[in-house]
């Protein structure tokens, strides 16, 4: 634990010279909260003792209880490929400083509470913020927390939410309980959690950005962050206010979504004129100012990039009462949503203009490589349109056993190639990059559509020598 933290008053007098570590509660045990809970439980004092006792809190729903039970068994509640994260969880459970429950009264004992619940955007004819679940979560904290606890919002929220939504709720609930409201310590620190092979690393070694509703809140939040980040991690960056911190997260994700959408235009161009866009991008990346240029793919999925670019415009309208258009942000969401449909249209042309009665193997149903998260996956869009046009779509994903959005079982093994008309490589999972497709084919010769640069040039050529037609999103037909 940092010495600076030990000298600050966190409402936990046992921080200095005590055998009992302070309690930290993490509200929401999804893909972010579960990893954050493990990371905080892994923090150690200078003499090697656990720095915190961590209690994860989730709802008493079927999915919430399943996550709680998994964590209490020492098992991460979602499929992961990060052995370090799995090992740290087992260590925390063995040390007895990580447990999970569905009881909001757990917040009463916490010196620090992190809010990691979802905040959605309803995308119908007109997008609107869905603040209901977030308000309920904040209210549950306010109804149970100590007046002097530090509350950190890690949830991606529209700019202005911490000051205009969360703070009034917390003060109101404290006042209703007859507690002082002037001791409230409230901050925003957006997460940069990246599930995958470096899941835990993205929590403890990724630079953090934060701000408080006042000087005291920011001071204590910064000290807490430094106590859980690795020694190699750059110091957290403090902004002038929580609205700036919230805007930072939205801008980060909008930047990514916009640049991904731009690549869709150039992918279509490259395919039409017979150019390998990946080759072009690799050459451009040699320029230092363009080293992070995106590449084309199957589309954008997950809980963040599919909605976060819409939050700035909605915040201006619903929280600040101002109308401002964000055309690039809105168009990026729309373009990225159509990417898997464009891949389907290309496959349809490869199959002679119709998929009716054709057997198509869709490899990958999660939204990202080496992650078992199917929320808003581009594969769902592809599956819907392919099935609506009469295709028989087989599915596989090495990290998903059940596709909840479609209520479909996902087989453990890649199905046989016998009788297949096409194979769509939708997600660049490590298993697919290494899979021996040449031996798996047998006598079948399906069309291959590599939608996410899964196959190397050598492997594409070998499949073509065997008699398969192989094409790629972002590449002309001969590339």
pLDDT of res. 477: 81
In a domain, residue 249? The reply is no
The CATH number that applies at residue 461 is: 3.40.50.720
Query: Domain check: are 446 and 327 in the same one?
Result: yes
pLDDT of res. 242: 98
Query: Domain check: are 17 and 155 in the same one?
Result: yes
Query: Domain check: are 212 and 272 in the same one?
Result: no
Query: Domain check: are 236 and 261 in the same one?
Result: no
In a domain, residue 142? The reply is yes
Q: Domain tally for the chain?
A: 2
pLDDT of res. 163: 98
Query: Domain check: are 125 and 234 in the same one?
Result: yes
Query: Domain check: are 209 and 100 in the same one?
Result: yes
Domain end residue (candidates: 240, 275, 292): 240
Q: What is the pLDDT of residues 52-69, one digit of tens each?
A: 999 999 999 999 999 999
pLDDT of res. 19: 67
pLDDT of res. 18: 53
pLDDT of res. 97: 94
Query: Domain check: are 393 and 276 in the same one?
Result: yes
Q: What is the pLDDT of residues 311-345, one digit of tens each?
A: 999 999 999 999 999 999 999 999 999 999 999 99
Query: Domain check: are 375 and 284 in the same one?
Result: yes
In a domain, residue 413? The reply is yes
In a domain, residue 248? The reply is no
pLDDT of res. 14: 32
- Domain ranges, residue 305: 257-472
Query: Domain check: are 181 and 78 in the same one?
Result: yes
In a domain, residue 349? The reply is yes
Query: Domain check: are 452 and 338 in the same one?
Result: yes
In a domain, residue 58? The reply is yes
Mean pLDDT by 10 residues, the chain (479 residues): 33 47 97 98 92 97 97 96 96 95 97 96 92 97 98 98 98 98 97 94 96 98 96 96 98 97 95 96 97 94 94 97 96 95 97 98 96 95 98 98 96 97 97 97 98 96 97 90
In a domain, residue 366? The reply is yes
Query: Domain check: are 213 and 316 in the same one?
Result: no
pTM: 0.92
pLDDT of res. 12: 38
Three-state SS for the chain is CCHHHHCCCCCCHHHCCCCCCCEEEEECCCCCHHHHHHHHHHCECCCCCECCEEEEECCCCHHHHHHHHHHHCCCCCCCCCCHHHHHHHHHHHHHCCEEEECCHHHHHHCCEEEECCCCEEEECCCEEEECHHHHHHHHHHHCCCCCCCEEEECCCCCCCHHHHHHHHHHHHHHHHCCCCCCCCEEEEECCCCCCCCCCCHHHHCCCCEEEECCHHHHHHHHHHHHHHCCCCCCCCEECCCHHHHHHHHHHHHHHHHHHHHHHHHHHHHHHHHCCEHHHHHHHHCCCHHHCCCCCCCCCCCCCCCCCHHHHHHHHHHHCCCCCCCCHHHHHHHHHHHHHHHHHHHHHHHHCCCCCCCCEEEEECCCCCCCCCCCCCCHHHHHHHHHHHCCCEEEEECCCCCEECCCCEECCCCCCCCCCCCEEEECCCCHHHHHCCHHHHCCCCCCEEEECCCCCCHHHHHHHHHCCCCEEECCECCCC
In a domain, residue 250? The reply is no
Query: Domain check: are 177 and 270 in the same one?
Result: no
């Amino acid at each position: 634990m940092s010495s600076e933290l030990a000298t600050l008053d966190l409402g936990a007098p046992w921080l200095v010279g005590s055998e009992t570590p302070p309690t930290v509660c993490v509200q929401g045990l999804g893909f972010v909260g579960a990893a954050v809970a493990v990371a905080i439980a892994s923090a150690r004092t200078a003499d090697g003792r656990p720095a915190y006792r961590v209690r994860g809190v989730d709802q008493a729903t079927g999915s919430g209880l399943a996550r709680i039970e998994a964590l209490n068994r020492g098992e991460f509640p979602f499929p992961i490929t990060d052995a370090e994260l799995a090992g740290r969880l087992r260590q925390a459970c063995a040390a007895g400083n990580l447990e999970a429950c569905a009881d909001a009264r757990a917040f009463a004992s916490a010196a620090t509470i992190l809010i990691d619940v979802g905040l959605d955007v309803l995308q119908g004819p007109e997008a609107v913020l869905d603040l209901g679940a977030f308000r309920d979560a904040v209210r549950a904290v306010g109804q149970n927390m100590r007046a002097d606890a530090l509350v950190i919002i890690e949830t991606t929220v529209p700019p202005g939410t911490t000051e205009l939504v969360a703070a009034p709720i917390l003060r109101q609930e404290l006042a209703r309980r007859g507690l002082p409201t002037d001791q409230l310590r409230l901050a925003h620190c957006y997460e940069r959690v990246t599930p995958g092979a470096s899941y835990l690393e993205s929590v403890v070694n990724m630079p953090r950005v934060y701000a408080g509703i006042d000087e005291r809140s920011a001071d204590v939040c910064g000290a807490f962050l430094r106590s859980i980040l690795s020694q190699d991690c750059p110091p957290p960056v403090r902004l002038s206010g929580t609205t700036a911190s919230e805007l930072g997260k939205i801008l980060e994700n909008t930047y990514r979504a916009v640049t991904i959408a731009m690549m869709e235009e150039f992918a279509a161009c490259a395919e039409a004129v017979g150019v390998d866009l990946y080759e072009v991008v690799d050459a451009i990346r040699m320029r230092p100012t363009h080293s992070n240029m995106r590449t084309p793919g199957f589309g954008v999925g997950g809980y963040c990039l599919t909605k976060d670019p819409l939050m700035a415009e909605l915040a201006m309208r619903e929280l600040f009462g101002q109308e401002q258009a964000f055309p690039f942000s809105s168009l990026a969401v729309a373009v990225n949503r159509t990417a898997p449909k464009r891949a389907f249209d290309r496959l349809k042309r490869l199959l002679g203009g119709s998929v009716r009665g054709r057997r198509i193997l869709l490899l990958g149903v999660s939204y990202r490589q080496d992650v078992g998260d199917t929320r808003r996956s581009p594969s769902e869009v592809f599956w819907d349109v392919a099935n609506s046009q009469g295709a028989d779509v087989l599915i596989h994903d090495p990290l998903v056993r059940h596709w909840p959005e479609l209520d479909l079982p996902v087989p453990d093994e890649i199905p046989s190639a016998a009788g297949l008309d096409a194979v769509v490589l939708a997600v660049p999972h490590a298993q697919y990059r290494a899979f021996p497709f040449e031996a798996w084919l047998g006598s079948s010769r399906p069309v291959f559509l590599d939608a996410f640069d899964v196959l190397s040039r050598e492997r594409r050529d070998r499949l073509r020598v065997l008699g398969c037609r192989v094409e790629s999103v972002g590449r002309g037909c001969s590339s």
